[in-house]
Amino acid sequence: MAISEAVRDEMRQIVALYPQSRSALLPMLHLVQSVEGDVSVDGINACAEVLGITSAEVTAVSTFYTMYKRQKVGKHHIGVCINTLCGLLGGDAVYAALAERLGTTHDSPSADSQFWLERIECQAACTHAPVMTVDWEFMDDVTPASAVDVIDRLANGEVVQSTRGPVIRDFSATERTLAFPNDGLADEGVSVDDKMLAGLRIAKERGMTAPGIPAAQPSQTEA
């Protein structure tokens, strides 16, 4: 789909935020995904024109990072962490259940093209392993059954609340947030809970402290 002049104007707004214009490329590609559903050829060409670089340079960046897709993602992006802690606590079983429910496999659209399933790496959310993401919002402590239930509710158009963030919107809305981060939702949902603070609480109860930081040694050139 041709990139509209309104979207090109938004690309220029992003460019204006950076001292070096090409630093704007990553959020520009998220903007492309928000309007196109993927990093389309038209989107690549529009980024290149606005930045004054080649389409090959834009393509090189967009194919390096896994968050940029070259195929339509659909309405919702589903991630399942399969790194060590999540994998050990059931992430692999969650992934298998979702792959069966959606009729797809890693980094691919569902049979109905409404969902995208992806194995993802550690989301720094191990406290609540196994973790699943929906449009990059957390669903904590999932099981195969609860993960499939999330998909069923989204497919039915029901409201789904992330466990540590806002109500699930859709992939397009999240991609727009990644292009223009101030979406007003930063304070939605629970940001920290007792489970996350358990280590700190126990350390305080036991009077534990971290060792001091050693004084910096003079470098050889200063000696």
At 18 the three-state DSSP class reads: coil
Choice between 29 and 142, CB closer to ligand FES = 142
DSSP 158-213: ---B-TTSSB---HHHHHHHHHS---S-TTSS-S--TTTTHHHHHHHHTT--PPPP
User: Please, what is the minimum distance in Å from the beta carbon of residue 204 to ligand FES?
Assistant: 24
User: Please, what is the minimum distance in Å from the beta carbon of residue 87 to ligand FES?
Assistant: 7
Choice between 96 and 111, CB closer to ligand FES = 96
The b/e string for 84-118 (b: 16+ C-beta within 10 A; e otherwise) is ebbbebbbbbbbebbbebbebeeeebbeeebbbbb
H, E, C per residue of 32-92: HHHHHCCCCHHHHHHHHHHHCCCHHHHHHHHCCCCCCCCCCCCCEEEEEECCHHHHHHHHH
Residues that bind ligand FES in the complex, under the rule CB under 6 A: 81, 83-86, 122-123, 125-126, 129, 131
User: Please, what is the minimum distance in Å from the beta carbon of residue 218 to ligand FES?
Assistant: 39
- Short-list 17, 107, 19, CA closest to 28: 17
Choice between 127 and 172, CB closer to ligand FES = 127
User: Please, what is the minimum distance in Å from the beta carbon of residue 128 to ligand FES?
Assistant: 8
Choice between 44 and 86, CB closer to ligand FES = 86
Choice between 53 and 122, CB closer to ligand FES = 122
User: Please, what is the minimum distance in Å from the beta carbon of residue 140 to ligand FES?
Assistant: 10
